[in-house]
């Protein structure tokens, strides 16, 4: 593919791996997750467990469906994560008082204490990338815009 075509966001038809948006996102996601790994290992967490705790630290408590929605995961993926976090003593699950079918999840005291240690993770990761905070904010905004547009496109098919 010619350089001019690569620079044109409307160019189509290239089957070169390096030209695929999906592959650039995949490679970036793997690299970012790998950069998080040692920071989260210090906390005894995996990346998906960290994401669950981020939602709970933000909201205080959440239903399992609410957690799955926030993380854009299905129930079958969230349930084992919660079991491991519960076994580690970081979250507790309780049946909702108003609906026995509904389960609410919240951090335990130990889970809240972990928040105090986790607060350094985002800044440490930012520093390790060498990106300025403004660059990260702009990139995050563009990625959310892409996610919304891709979701809308998927709904059309």
pLDDT over threshold 60, residue 2 = no
pLDDT over threshold 70, residue 14 = yes
Give residue 82's pLDDT.
97
Give residue 5's pLDDT.
55
* Full 3-state SS string of the chain: CCHHHHHCCCCCCCCCHHHCHHHHHHHHHHHHHHHHHHHHHCCCCCHHHHHHHHHHHHHCEEEHHHHHHHHCCCHHHHHHHHHHHHHCCCEEEEEECCEEEEEEEEECHHHHHHHHHHCCHHHHHHHHHCCCHHHHHHHHHHHHHHHHHHHHHHHHC
* 133 vs 11, more confident: 133
Q: What is the pTM of this model?
A: 0.86
Give residue 10's pLDDT.
57
Q: pLDDT confidence of 9, banded at 50, 70, 90? A: low
Q: Is 85 exposed, middle or buried (0-12, 13-18, 19+ CB in 10 A)?
A: buried
Give residue 157's pLDDT.
80
Measured from the Cβ of residue 52, the count of other Cβ atoms closer than 10 Å reads: 27
Can you give the length of the chain in residues?
Answer: 157
Query: Over the stretch 72-124, which tens digit does the pLDDT of each residue have?
Result: 999 999 999 999 999 999 999 998 777 778 889 999 999 999 999 999 999 99
């Amino acid at each position: 593919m010619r350089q001019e075509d690569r620079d044109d966001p409307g160019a189509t038809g290239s089957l070169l791996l390096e030209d695929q948006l999906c592959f650039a996102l995949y490679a970036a996601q793997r690299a970012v997750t790998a950069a998080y790994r040692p920071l989260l290992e210090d906390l005894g967490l995996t990346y998906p467990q960290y994401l669950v705790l981020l939602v709970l630290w933000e909201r205080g408590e959440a239903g399992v469906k609410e957690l799955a929605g926030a993380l854009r995961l299905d129930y079958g993926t969230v349930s084992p994560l919660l079991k491991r976090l519960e076994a580690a003593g970081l979250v507790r699950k309780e049946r909702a008082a108003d609906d026995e079918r509904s389960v609410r999840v919240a951090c335990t005291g130990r889970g809240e204490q972990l928040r105090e240690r986790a607060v350094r993770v985002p800044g440490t990761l930012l520093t390790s990338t060498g990106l300025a905070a403004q660059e990260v904010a702009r990139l995050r905004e563009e990625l959310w815009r892409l996610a919304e547009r891709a979701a809308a496109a998927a709904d059309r098919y």
